[in-house]
Amino acid sequence: MPRLTVNGISHNYCLEGPADAPVLTLAHAQGFTLDSWAAQIAHFSDSYRVFAPDLRGHGGTAMAGKPYRIEDLALDIVALLDALDIETTHYAGASLGGMAAFALAMDHADRLRSVSFVTTQGILPQASIDGQRAATEVMRREGIEARVDATLERYLRKGYREDRPDSYAVLRRQFTANPLEGYAEAGAAIFAMDFDGRIGAIDLPVMVIAGEHDIATTPERMTLYRDGIPGAKMDIVPNAGHMPYVEEAEAFNAVLAEFLDSLP
């Protein structure tokens, strides 16, 4: 895949679809890579120019090597868009990628045509912070393999491992191939963020997408963004957990396509 160095970091990315089509940016969750969007890249690249980067410390993109903020992920996206001569983009971000969407929508709204917040939130509850810190410490002591299945079982709907063993194995390989410190750097940025008090200022077409059985970011939690962002729409993907774009890709694609098609 092609690479670009921006903000002092070598970034891996995918860019597929007609050069003259509107751009759709897809940003992945913590612990995964741009490959988690494979079904969306294949589906949307007929009518969109799909841009999917590996975020800092994930996949083929280098680690920051120092503490950073979620706002820095947004700055990476902006710098990559600049380097690729992309003026504006639709943006869909899942979990970590959705957290970057808050920073983009608040601080770089002129670069966005729309934003879709997928199974994400603007501030992490303390219980979630404590749980992820503890899990990261276990991984430091025992290796990333020690927590990968527990993490995936929290993210995916009950029974997914048994129903879709090949897909589960792909996600497991993504998670274990990422450097632990890249995961930890992202975790520290997540723990420090606080966007919820500013969501009322977002002035863009917004779609909020939840997974019916998501326990990491419940549909109830995500109604805050439907209700707090002026004009925001929301849909819930049935039979899915924290990764509806993987678990129920066809249904997820239909929801995202309907939203994008509704825009001018």
Which residue, among 32, 5, 17, has the nearest Cα to 247 in the 3D structure?
Answer: 32
The DSSP secondary-structure symbol of 35 reads G
Angle, in degrees to the nearest 10, between helices 96-107 and 180-192: 50
Q: Give dist(CA 219, CA 242) in Å, integer.
A: 10
Q: Give dist(CA 104, CA 83) in Å, integer.
A: 17
Which residue, among 207, 250, 253, has the nearest Cα to 229 in the 3D structure?
Answer: 207
Task: Judge contact between 63 and 179, C-beta under 8 A.
Answer: yes
Domains in the chain: ranges and CATH:
3-261 (3.40.50.1820)
**Residue at 196: amino acid letter:** D
Angle at CA of residue 61, ends 56 and 63, nearest 5°? 50
pLDDT per residue as tens, the chain (264 positions): 899 999 999 999 999 999 999 999 999 999 999 999 999 999 999 999 999 999 999 999 999 999 999 999 999 999 999 999 999 999 999 999 999 999 999 999 999 999 999 999 999 999 999 999 999 999 999 999 999 999 999 999 999 999 999 999 999 999 999 999 999 999 999 999 999 999 999 999 999 999 999 999 999 999 999 999 999 999 999 999 999 999 999 999 999 999 999 998
The predicted-structure confidence for 135-164, as pLDDT tens digits, reads as follows 999 999 999 999 999 999 999 999 999 999
Whether the pTM exceeds 0.85: the reply is: yes
Scored b (16 or more CB within 10 A) or e, 156-194 reads bbeebbeebeebbebbbebbeebebebbbbbbebbeebe
Half-sphere exposure of 75 (CA within 13 A, CB side): 11
Element containing residue 10 per DSSP (H, E): strand 9-16
